[in-house]
Each structure stands twice: as C-alpha cells, then as structure tokens.
Chains A and B, each alone.
Chain A
C-alpha cells in the first residue's frame, strides 16, 4: 500500500479482555516496528521484525504482550488480559532497513476501562 495502515484506529476494551492490533506495512519494507506512546510519554519501543530473522522482543513490557508477522508482511500485536496501564497509542512503523526509512502508521488508540 501507499502507507502504513493500522486498524482499528480506536479500541475501547474492558480490563481483563484480550485485544489484537493490526499493522499492514508498506509493500517491500522488510523491517517492521511496534512502538507505544502512553500519556505524557515518548514513543516506547516494543518489538521489531526483520525478514525471517527472530524478532527483537526486548521492549515488550510483560509476557501479556506478543506479536506475530505473517509472511513477512502484516503484523498483529496481541495484548492478553489487558490492564488500565496498557492504555496508550500503539504505533507501527515499517522501514526498508534503514534508520531514515521509518514510516509510521496513524496508530491505534487503546483505552482499557
């Protein structure tokens, strides 16, 4: 596609429920990143995928968070048993494997009530 597409744009969920956030990167971009921005905070790195390599999960805040990237394209970030502190904007970015090539999606605003 022309840009990085994320869905849904907004998600309200009850505490304890599982949620799935989707990212469709730019075609041909081999690298895919998930970041999140909590209220009043900067963008926090969560996870990185590069081709068929093992993902860099060093930023995931707990084992309730997981992500997959199927076929080297679409990625899904799953948060199990959501907590109120998970409320944030979750941003996906893709890149042709350079620092300069980062393109962000518009994000998913997750609200846990």
Chain B
C-alpha cells in the first residue's frame, strides 16, 4: 500500500511557465513533508519542506502548498527554467517517537522536463 503517491510520472512545461507537481498521501500521522530533486546519476537533494501546521512555504521560485483535509500537497515552480528538469520526489515523515528513525516515505517521483 503506497502511503505517498505521485500519480503523474512525467510533466512537460515551457520555460518561463509554472510547473505544478502533485503529491497525495494516505497516512494521517504524517506531520512533515519534503520535496527532493534528483538528477541522473546523482543522489536526491533537498529542495523545500513544510510542516503540517502550515499550509504554504515559499523559497524563491519554489512554493509548497499543503491541504491537510485533502491529504494533498503540491510544489509550484515559477518561472520554470531548463535547469529544473529533473525527477522530483515527494516525501513524508511521522513525528519522532523517541525510538526508531526519522524514516522518510517517498513517492515514485515525477520527471519534469522544462522545454526551452
């Protein structure tokens, strides 16, 4: 059972336009959400995060929106640039319980292609 779902395996956007990447989750215990960006032959790199107590977090061209009632989050990239072309992973974690790990649950990723 996939707890974090990215239903679009790929997305193509013209340079300068907005890219919107979507992510849905099923586990209501998730309290922290992160987006990672991955280039081929490299490890994922952290992009932006949001706590469940917020509904929006912005960092430059990147904004993440969280809709807790819908268990949905989205990443907006404005304006999109060719260098943004990569695979984007949505990830979520549950509150640290004092035991176990800060394990992240990842979606399958969305491949974004920004066309010049």
Give the B-binding residues of A (Cβ under 8 A).
Answer: 4, 9, 31, 33, 35, 40-45, 48, 50, 56, 59, 91, 93, 95, 97-100, 102-107
Contact flags (1/0) for B85-113 with A, using CB distance below 8 Å? 00001010100000011111111110000
15 A-B contacts (beta carbon < 8 Å):
A33-B101, A40-B108, A42-B2, A42-B4, A42-B107, A45-B104, A48-B103, A91-B43, A93-B43, A97-B102, A102-B46, A103-B43, A103-B46, A104-B44, A105-B43
Give chain B residues whose Cβ lies under 8 Å from the Cβ of A100. 34, 46, 49
B5 to A, closest residue via Cβ? A42
B43 touches A45 (CB 8 A): no
B26 at the interface (CB under 8 A from A): no
B62 at the interface (CB under 8 A from A): no
Number of A-B contacts (CB under 8 A): 64
What range describes how many residues of B lie at the interface?
A: 20 to 34
Q: Which of A41, A48, A103 is B101 in contact with, Cβ under 8 Å?
A: A48
A56 touches B42 (CB 8 A): no
B39 to A, closest residue via Cβ? A106
Give chain A residues whose Cβ lies under 8 Å from the Cβ of B102. 31, 95, 97-99, 102
B41 at the interface (CB under 8 A from A): yes
Known: A33-B103, A56-B100. 11 other contacts (CB 8 A): A4-B43, A9-B41, A45-B103, A48-B100, A99-B102, A99-B104, A100-B34, A102-B34, A102-B104, A105-B43, A106-B42
What separation, in Å, do the CA atoms of A33 and B104 have in the docked complex? Answer: 10
